[in-house]
């Protein structure tokens, strides 16, 4: 197999994910694997760049929620074929992020978009769901060994749970072991600073950039 | 001026004695409890003398069993007449819809037949509008304006049944399932809008949240393909019965991208014009001769976190920048959350009644 055909197989997969074409993404993945392209190369060369580009287009207003949802669906179709081949290999993930909507708040659409883009960006994501109590976030640090905890809220009322959650992580004595990032409609950088979070992002794509920065990697 | 005259005058973009106001869509239980304890009054709308009251259809006689769509449910779950399961959360308050979870009854269905056969409620039935007519007549006798609630008109109602992510994927895939579901909901909404018009409603409050605070949730072409024509049919149905019934449209977030379309299909009033992400003064300049603005006082910023002086300043600034020539109805942009101080609502009402002075 020559370098050019590898590049073109990767490009086809990247485009299929970006266009949200799940069957085409699965077919392109199969073709590339059959041609001997290493699975890790597909992740680094097609899947991560495709989801980064989807995030960039979302941030710039060219993509909307449905475009992100179909890109994530196509990503999953490809990952379903690639992930089993990566199992047991010693490839490091971009970092482990435990993310959830804080206690009392059931709004999870924004959080789900962040999950999709983080997964697309190569992060190992533990999705804690919605209405997540502070002690579950603490356990994500102590038991699940998350590098980053992500807190989401839609309401001014539930946003205040973010402070409680950060305090719970402090009281558990593990604040130094984890970075905390926050987001959601009412959340501002000022509020993030006030409660002692390590970072704030105002959209899903910016959350991936932030997570990479918190992991000490270039965006 | 009576409240009703004030609302109709202002929303038809004539100059009222002062801008009309109300307190938006209700109160969190914690806020209402604190209000009652401190004032001894029962109803904030009566206490503050709001200019409108909301009306809904009377109770249904149907008792549809949705268990085959929903499966086992956690204790305390309430299933509404559409089959949406409202699941309690760690902070559920009985009257605060924003703090509960949902279980979507159509999330696992797939065929067009499923969409055609799902049992929808009799929200359009004549008997449910007999109490509405009486209620509106009573409001009018008190000089109040009646706002007939048709919230979650099409898109939200459909995604409550389907789940938002599934419905948006259906839209992207051009699914027949979504077409059938939306058409069935729209058919009922058209009759419901006509019922309200016949009952004498002053304002019909349509609404579907299609905005995020960074812009539309979906692209304008997708909104135009799936939602605009169906909303247009619903508005037109009411106007067949009563051409002068006012059409109000609610969407949270920034929906500036579809304002010309909303005007084109007959919307008179935009709500809530969330000041955290939309500029009411700029919208007044751009559309003020064709559109009225209802809301504009931020429940995400000034009301919970500002001082009474901040609230008075916001009211004054809005009256100056949006109120000229009518077209302004002042209200909190949404439900009053527990952390909104009563003093801020008092300041809001006093400032409006004083005409911002």
Instruction: Enter the tokens of residue A131.
Output: 């209405």
Secondary element (H or E) of residue B277: none
Taking only residues 97 to 116 of chain B, the set having a beta carbon closer than 8 angstroms to any beta carbon of chain A reads 98-102
- Does the structure's ipTM exceed the value 0.90? yes
Q: Mean pLDDT throughout A91-115?
A: 90
A159 — pLDDT class (breaks 50, 70, 90): very high
Q: Mean pLDDT throughout B282-308?
A: 96
Strands B85-87 and B101-103: antiparallel
Q: In A95-203, where does DSSP find H-type helix?
A: 109-120, 134-142, 156-171, 189-194
Taking only residues 312 to 341 of chain B, the set having a beta carbon closer than 8 angstroms to any beta carbon of chain A reads 337-339
Domain layout of chain B by residue ranges? 3-63+110-353
Query: Mind listing the domains of chain A with CATH numbers?
Result: 3-86 (1.10.1240.10), 96-214 (3.40.50.280)
pTM beyond 0.90, yes or no: yes
CB-CB neighbours of A91 under 10 Å: 11
Chain A nearest-CA distance from B100, in A, is: 6
Is A211's pLDDT higher than 90?
yes
The pLDDT value recorded for residue A90 is 57
CB-CB neighbours of B250 under 10 Å: 26
Contacts of B44 (CB under 8 A, 6+ apart): B23, B27, B32, B35, B50, B345
A99 — pLDDT class (breaks 50, 70, 90): very high
CB-CB neighbours of B15 under 10 Å: 12
B267 — pLDDT class (breaks 50, 70, 90): very high
Q: Is residue A12 helix, strand or coil?
A: helix
B123 — pLDDT class (breaks 50, 70, 90): very high
Taking only residues 211 to 230 of chain B, the set having a beta carbon closer than 8 angstroms to any beta carbon of chain A reads 212-219, 222
pLDDT in tens, A132-155: 999 999 999 999 999 999 999 998
Q: Mean pLDDT throughout A29-48?
A: 95
The pLDDT value recorded for residue B268 is 98
The distance from CA A193 to its chain's CA centroid, rounded to whole angstroms, is 22
The pLDDT value recorded for residue A104 is 87
Cα R_g (chain A), whole angstroms: 18
Cα R_g (chain B), whole angstroms: 20
Chain B nearest-CA distance from A62, in A, is: 8
A91 — pLDDT class (breaks 50, 70, 90): low
Residues, chain A: 219
The pLDDT value recorded for residue B159 is 97
Beta-bridge partners for B93: B96
Q: Which of A66, A104, A109 sits opposite B172 (nearest CB)?
A: A66
Q: Please, are residues B271 and B259 in contact by the beta-carbon 8 Å criterion?
A: no
Is B75's pLDDT higher than 60?
yes
Q: Which of A65, A130, A133 sits opposite B101 (nearest CB)?
A: A130
Q: Using an 8 Å CB-CB cutoff, list chain B residues near A69.
A: 165, 168-169, 172
Answer left, alpha or beta for residue B76, where phi above 0 means left and psi between -120 and 50 means alpha: left
Residue B268 to residues B203, B250, B281, Cα–Cα distance (Å): 10, 11, 17
The whole-angstrom separation of Cα B304 and Cα B299 is 6
Interface with chain B: mutation pick from A73, A133, A157, highest number of B CBs within 10 Å:
A157
Q: Using an 8 Å CB-CB cutoff, list chain A residues near B165.
A: 69, 109, 112
Q: Using an 8 Å CB-CB cutoff, list chain B residues near A104.
A: 89-91, 99
Q: Do A70 and B171 touch (CB under 8 A)?
A: no
Interface with chain A: mutation pick from B169, B174, B278, B340, highest number of A CBs within 10 Å:
B169
A219 — pLDDT class (breaks 50, 70, 90): low
pLDDT in tens, A171-210: 999 999 999 999 999 999 999 999 999 999 999 999 999 9
Name the DSSP class of B96: B
Chain A nearest-CA distance from B244, in A, is: 36
A19 — contact with chain B (CB < 8 Å)? no
The pLDDT value recorded for residue A89 is 66
Average pLDDT of chain A is 93
Architecture of domain B3-63+110-353: Alpha-Beta Barrel (3.20)
Chain B nearest-CA distance from A57, in A, is: 12
């Amino acid at each position: 197999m020559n370098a050019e055909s590898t590049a073109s197989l990767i490009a086809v997969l990247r485009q299929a994910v970006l266009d949200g074409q799940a069957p085409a993404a699965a077919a392109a993945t199969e073709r590339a694997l059959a041609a001997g392209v290493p699975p890790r190369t597909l992740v680094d060369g097609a899947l991560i760049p495709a989801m980064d580009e989807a995030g960039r287009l979302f941030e710039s207003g060219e993509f909307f929620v449905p475009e992100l949802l179909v890109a994530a669906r196509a990503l999953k179709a490809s990952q379903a074929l690639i992930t089993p081949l990566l199992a047991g290999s010693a490839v490091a993930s971009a970092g482990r992020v435990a993310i959830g909507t804080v206690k009392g708040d059931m709004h999870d659409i924004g959080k789900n978009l962040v999950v999709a883009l983080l997964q697309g960006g190569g992060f190992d994501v533990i999705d804690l769901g919605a209405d997540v109590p502070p002690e579950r976030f603490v356990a994500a640090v102590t038991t699940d060994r998350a590098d980053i905890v992500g807190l989401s809220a839609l309401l001014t009322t539930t946003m205040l749970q973010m402070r409680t959650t950060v305090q719970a992580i402090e009281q558990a004595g593990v604040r130094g072991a984890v970075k905390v990032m926050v987001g959601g409609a009412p959340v501002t950088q000022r509020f993030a600073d006030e409660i002692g979070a390590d970072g704030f992002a105002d959209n899903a794509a910016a959350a991936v950039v932030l997570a990479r920065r918190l992991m000490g990697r270039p965006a | 001026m009576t409240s009703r005259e004030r609302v109709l005058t202002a929303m038809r973009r004539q100059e009222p004695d002062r801008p009309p106001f109300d307190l938006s869509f209700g109160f969190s239980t914690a806020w209402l409890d604190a209000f009652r304890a401190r004032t001894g009054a029962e109803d904030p709308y009566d206490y503050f003398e709001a200019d409108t009251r909301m009306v809904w259809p009377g109770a249904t006689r149907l008792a549809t069993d949705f268990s085959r769509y929903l499966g086992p449910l956690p204790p305390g779950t309430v299933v509404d007449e559409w089959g949406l399961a409202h699941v309690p959360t760690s902070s559920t308050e009985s009257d605060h819809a924003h703090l509960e979870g949902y279980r979507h009854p159509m999330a696992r269905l797939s065929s067009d037949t499923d969409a055609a056969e799902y049992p929808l409620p009799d929200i359009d039935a004549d008997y449910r509008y007999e109490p509405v007519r009486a209620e509106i007549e009573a409001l009018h006798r008190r000089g109040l304006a009646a706002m007939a609630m048709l919230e979650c008109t099409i898109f939200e109602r459909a995604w409550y049944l389907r789940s938002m992510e599934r419905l948006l994927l259906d839209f992207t895939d051009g699914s027949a399932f979504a077409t059938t579901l939306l058409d069935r909901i729209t058919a009922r909404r058209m009759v419901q809008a006509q019922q309200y018009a016949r009952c004498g409603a002053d304002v019909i409050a349509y609404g579907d949240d299609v905005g995020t605070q960074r812009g539309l949730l979906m692209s304008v072409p997708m909104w135009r393909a799936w939602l605009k024509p169906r909303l247009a049919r619903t508005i037109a149905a009411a106007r067949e019965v009563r051409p002068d019934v006012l059409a109000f449209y609610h969407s949270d977030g920034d929906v500036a991208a579809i304002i010309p379309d909303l005007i084109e299909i007959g919307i008179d009033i935009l709500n809530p014009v969330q000041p955290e992400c939309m500029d009411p003064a700029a919208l007044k300049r751009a559309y003020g001769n064709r559109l009225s603005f209802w809301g504009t006082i931020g429940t995400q910023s000034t009301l919970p976190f500002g001082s009474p002086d901040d609230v008075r300043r916001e009211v004054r600034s809005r009256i100056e920048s949006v109120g000229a020539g009518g077209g302004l109805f002042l209200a909190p942009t949404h439900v009053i959350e527990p952390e909104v101080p009563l003093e801020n609502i008092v300041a809001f009402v006093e400032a409006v009644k004083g005409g911002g002075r």
